[in-house]
Structure 1
Amino acid sequence: MKAAVLHEYDEHLVNDAWLRCEEVEDPRIERPTDVIVRVGGAGVCRTDLHVIEGIWRGKADVALPHILGHENAGWVEATGSAVEHVKVGDPVICHPLVTGGHCLACRRGNDMHAAESRFPGINANGGYAEYMLTGERSLIKLPKSLAPKDVAPYTDAGLTAYHAARKAAHHLLPGQYAVVIGAGGLGHIGIQVLHALCAAEIIVIDRTEQALHLAADCGAQHLVMGDEHVVDRVLELTGGHGAEAVLDFVGEGDSVANGLAMTRNAGFYYVVGYGGRLEVPTIDLITSEKTIVGNLVGTYPELMELMALADSGRVRLATREYSLADANLALKDLHHGRVVGRAVLLP
């Protein structure tokens, strides 16, 4: 099969090309519950850039050469002997983690903290290819209204945004405020989820007019340019007290300090983006009683809930399509801020 393959790391992301489009062996069924998916769309994520940088070497067992791609949807191509709930030809979306389902975390539905797991695109070969190996337990059948290429980024960008926004929506009340930092690939989904699940007013911060226009289309009531006056503007909008919830989809640079400054006392700061550092004097946490919440990818049930929102048209993805052969171009466009929403590779 054809695949876009990473052969070496590029710590500073300066190489002309990061991946090679080449012929590799097809994946094979190894376990009774294995499923091979013919990839219909593979989302291009900033995490892919972090893998190329080598950041994930200390967090996951990434062995080169490696096939990226952890946001995947397509059609069932082949199944193991024990697979029952999907059949060849079914359109499916893939939860990003492949787990056995027997540990306590799995039985509680907390897939991302399973005792044993594979993460295609991170520590196993992913979907920047014509075919990908996954497991039956990771698959959700798609309704007729949703095509694989249109939903693939929901499996990480959408699911991570949903996971954080759903937490926030549980405590946000009418008359309260939610701040979303970053209206990009994750943020524009988080805005829609907040709009669908709660009645709080949504303030969105970004550094580009294009992203702010997208945020307005997604349901944001207040748009704020991310300049040196951003904290003052948010405090003014919230009556000087800050927001009850701040969802930081950037997580680096000045977004961390700004995000905490925008969070009102007894409020919640949700960290979604990463790459920066969080430094808070303990006395400030005590006196403000702010809650800081880390957010990983969501669960299988949350992906089902997100698909229900997508099927009903209450959440939609802004996407830009690239061929698999143009994987480097897609990654370069993402790196240089030329993608509005999410990029999707079509094998």
Structure 2
Amino acid sequence: MKAVQLSNYDRTPEIADVAEPEAAAPLDVVVRIGGAGVCRTDLHIIEGQWAQKTGVSLPYTLGHENAGWVHAVGSAVSNVEVGDPVILHPLVTCGLCRPCRGGDDVHCENSTFPGINTDGGYAEFLRTNARAVVKLGDSLEPAAVAALADAGLTAYHAARKAVAALRPGDTVVVIGSGGLGHIGVQALKAMTPAEVIVVDRSWEALGLAELAGAEHLVNADGTQVEAVLDLTDGHGAEAVVDFVGEGGAIEDGIAMLRRTGDYYVVGYGGTLAIPTIDIISTEINFVGNLVGSYNDLEELMTLAARGKVSLHTRTYPLTDFGKALEDLDNGQVKGRAILVP
């Protein structure tokens, strides 16, 4: 089969002919890929930023946001059948460790992460397991939802945490309305009556936020903190969900937060530096967010099937992966780029 493989860090991946995966273990599921999301993390992987963390052996196949159709199953698989359309939770988990048994499979002690530390979905087929596959509703197509498997799941995971603490009359600020942010806005609007303020330097991204239902749009032109404070009567927002995490976004976000507020960190790259006396005197909270659980993904697919969450996508043939990566790197992708074999 054809697969996009990374053979050397800091070099463009290449199309290669590799062996088609087989359902060897009882719970294995082989999926024919219908769409693979192109993520900024893929750019970081190519640059070598994840090399030490993952320890993956090169060459291997990229792609950690995947959806498609069940192609083959192991002898013990009972939750899906060949031909079923599915989206894949990004982790292949064991189900036996303490985190898995507690429903916190994101922190499975024995997980693998296709596209990060093992072969992923920039290919015609991908092997995962029965614990990772979520069957899609009749109204959903794999290519249309593939990026929800990680970008959407991460955004939903953070939004769901914020929703638990938000009440009618509260305000939540979303920093960044790009590939993750515009999904986060939709999730917030689907689950909370709180008003949503979106801050972004791109008017195109703010346009996505407006379509997603945000009540207030703030251009990050240097006056964004003052604008948010004006919109919240000088108090700041009860919650800030930061999908940027660098380039001054953190400092702005903290300044937009009211006393006892919650700051949800999703984007990364910057450094969180705040005097501890400012934390205790205002009782603000900082909450990290990785990726969502299997249950989070099921819930997100329910919202997607009901039309509450949708992706703005641009599709590319698998052979045009280089163009997709280049467009993403140059900021020319509105929403998410999807590779379709």
* TM class by smaller structure: over 0.9
1:30 Cα deviation from its structure 2 partner:
3.2
- Which of 192, 196, 202 matches 2:196? 202
32-41 or 78-87, which moves further after superposition?
78-87
1:39 equivalent to 2:28? Answer no
Could you give the per-residue CA deviations for residues 159-196 of structure 1, whole angstroms, max 9, x where no partner exists?
A: 10000001111111121110001101110010011101
1:237 Cα deviation from its structure 2 partner:
1.1
1:158 Cα deviation from its structure 2 partner:
0.7
SS across alignment from 2:54: coil
Structure 2 unaligned runs (5+)? none
SS across alignment from 1:98: coil
Equivalent residue number for residue 220 of structure 2? 226
Specify the code of the residue in structure 1 equivalent to 2:175: I
Equivalent residue number for residue 5 of structure 2? 5
Equivalent residue number for residue 128 of structure 1? 122
120-129 or 236-245, which moves further after superposition?
236-245
1:228 Cα deviation from its structure 2 partner:
1.6
Equivalent residue number for residue 323 of structure 2? 329
Instruction: Determine the C-alpha separation between the residues in 2 that align with 1:228 and 1:24.
Output: 50
1:301 equivalent to 2:322? Answer no
Matches within 5 A, 1:310-325: 310-325=304-319
1:258 Cα deviation from its structure 2 partner:
1.0
1:147 equivalent to 2:141? Answer yes
1:111 Cα deviation from its structure 2 partner:
1.0
Could you give the per-residue CA deviations for residues 290-330 of structure 1, whole angstroms, max 9, x where no partner exists?
A: 10000010011111111110101111111110111111111
Aligned residues of 2:314 and 2:338 also touching (Cα < 8 A): yes
SS across alignment from 1:344: strand
Equivalent residue number for residue 103 of structure 2? 109
Matches within 5 A, 1:51-62: 51-62=45-56
Equivalent residue number for residue 86 of structure 1? 80
Matches within 5 A, 1:180-329: 180-329=174-323
SS across alignment from 1:116: coil
Specify the code of the residue in structure 2 equivalent to 1:298: G
Instruction: Determine the C-alpha separation between the residues in 2 that align with 1:116 and 1:248.
Output: 29
TM-score relative to the length of structure 1: 0.96
- Which of 21, 35, 43 matches 1:49? 43
Instruction: Determine the C-alpha separation between the residues in 2 that align with 1:6 and 1:218.
Output: 36
Aligned residues of 2:198 and 2:216 also touching (Cα < 8 A): yes
Which consecutive segments of 4 or more residues in structure 1 shift more than 3 A?
none
Specify the code of the residue in structure 2 equivalent to 1:253: G
1:260 Cα deviation from its structure 2 partner:
1.2
Equivalent residue number for residue 64 of structure 1? 58
Instruction: Determine the C-alpha separation between the residues in 2 that align with 1:128 and 1:9.
Output: 17
SS across alignment from 2:31: strand
Instruction: Determine the C-alpha separation between the residues in 1 that align with 2:173 and 2:57.
Output: 38
Structure 1 unaligned runs (5+)? none
Instruction: Determine the C-alpha separation between the residues in 2 that align with 1:140 and 1:61.
Output: 28
Equivalent residue number for residue 68 of structure 2? 74
1:277 Cα deviation from its structure 2 partner:
1.0
Could you give the per-residue CA deviations for residues 194-247 of structure 1, whole angstroms, max 9, x where no partner exists?
A: 101001110001111111111100000100111221111111111111110100
Instruction: Determine the C-alpha separation between the residues in 1 that align with 2:53 and 2:246.
Output: 18
Instruction: Determine the C-alpha separation between the residues in 1 that align with 2:98 and 2:182.
Output: 33
Aligned residues of 2:171 and 2:194 also touching (Cα < 8 A): yes
Aligned residues of 2:22 and 2:72 also touching (Cα < 8 A): no
Could you give the per-residue CA deviations for residues 79-130 of structure 1, whole angstroms, max 9, x where no partner exists?
A: 1111111111111110000011011100111111011011000001100000
Aligned length: 341
1:163 equivalent to 2:121? Answer no
Instruction: Determine the C-alpha separation between the residues in 2 that align with 1:270 and 1:25.
Output: 42
116-125 or 226-235, which moves further after superposition?
226-235
1:24 Cα deviation from its structure 2 partner:
1.4
SS across alignment from 2:24: coil
